[in-house]
Amino acid sequence: MPRTIFMNDHLVPEEEARISVFDHGLLYGDGVFEGLRSYSGRVFRLSDHLDRLWASARAICLDIPMSREQMSQAVLDTLAANQLEDGYIRLIVTRGAGTLGLDPNRCHNPQVIIIADTISLYPKEFYEQGLRIVTAATQRIQTAALSPRIKSLNYLNNIMAKLEGLQAGCVEALMLNHKGEVAECTGDNIFVIRGERMLTPPPDAGILEGITRAAVMELAAKEGIDCREATLTRHDLYTADECFLTGTAAEVIPVVEIDGRPIGEGTPGPITKILKDCFHSLVRQSV
């Protein structure tokens, strides 16, 4: 079904939603984005996603040409125009049209695009049986080169790793940082359970600080699970009792095998199942 797209300050039919071939978002991946979900018409943690979008934009000296209130309203209007209760929302802000040179100061027309669509989730059996993943040879880009905390339109680093995963028959791939420590997956954060503790890499491992990650850490605290940020190596993953990934699209998904090694019993673990259920209840109740 053709979608209705929000472009800058109004809703247009999909066929009319166009950007310039001179847009630096296209020419250089110069822009920022967010991926959000709505459940029963309510957008999950909209304000956190807007905080991250504005932080990403600030980091690349991009002025978003509207207020947060206008952006919130535009998200709701786009969902309504597409009659979506349970949907996936993509917010994009590009640098705008400039010249065929890098200079961002020559771009004067940042484009705000909001797309609302249905979400294609991983098949149900992945949630029940768990994912197999592999470590990609492509390292997560170093913070000093481009901070992974910026959710920029330049996702080739992750796409290169995703390709490696797909070539190995896996839908996700693990990315290490330049020190060989565990960072995250191509579009998901990673957690392990070791004994009584739940562990996840800290922001300075070179990760995007996922909004699902933060929500799951809060849920763990409420459930009395001791969750901490910790530097992790592949050895810590291989010898963990449980492993799972978090992300807006994936929600909470168990991992049962990494690089051919079964994790724990090789089946989704009990703490993973508790957090998956808690997350499902959270998204269905919160604003």
- Name the residues annotated as catalytic: 151
Question: 229 — phi, psi (to 5°)?
Answer: -85, 135
Is residue 114 helix, strand or coil? strand
- Which of 32, 28, 35, 21 is CA-nearest to residue 61? 32
Interface with ligand PXG (CB under 6 A), residue total: 15
**Closest distance between ligand PXG and the C-beta of residue 78, in Å?**
18
What are the structure tokens assigned to 19, written together? 């950007």
**Closest distance between ligand PXG and the C-beta of residue 265, in Å?**
26
**Closest distance between ligand PXG and the C-beta of residue 248, in Å?**
3
Residue 164 binds ligand PXG, judged by CB under 6 A: no
Q: Which stretch binds ligand PXG (CB under 6 A): 55-63, 78-86, 181-189, 269-277?
A: 181-189
* Of positions 38, 78, 158, 200, contacts ligand PXG by CB under 6 A: 158
Amino acid occupying residue 271: I
Q: Which stretch binds ligand PXG (CB under 6 A): 121-129, 163-171, 206-214, 272-280?
A: 206-214
Q: What is the spatial distance between Cα 245 and Cα 250, in angstroms, rounded to a whole number?
A: 8
* Of positions 31, 96, 201, 210, contacts ligand PXG by CB under 6 A: 210
* Of positions 211, 219, 243, 253, contacts ligand PXG by CB under 6 A: 211
* Of positions 12, 76, 160, 249, contacts ligand PXG by CB under 6 A: 249
What is the Rg, in whole angstroms, of the alpha carbon atoms belonging to the chain? 19
The DSSP-derived string for 203-222 is: GGGT----HHHHHHHHHHHH
- Spatial contact of 254 and 191, defined as CB atoms under 8 Å apart: no
Is residue 41 helix, strand or coil? coil
List of residues contacting ligand PXG (CB under 6 A)? 35, 158, 184, 187-189, 208, 210-213, 246-249
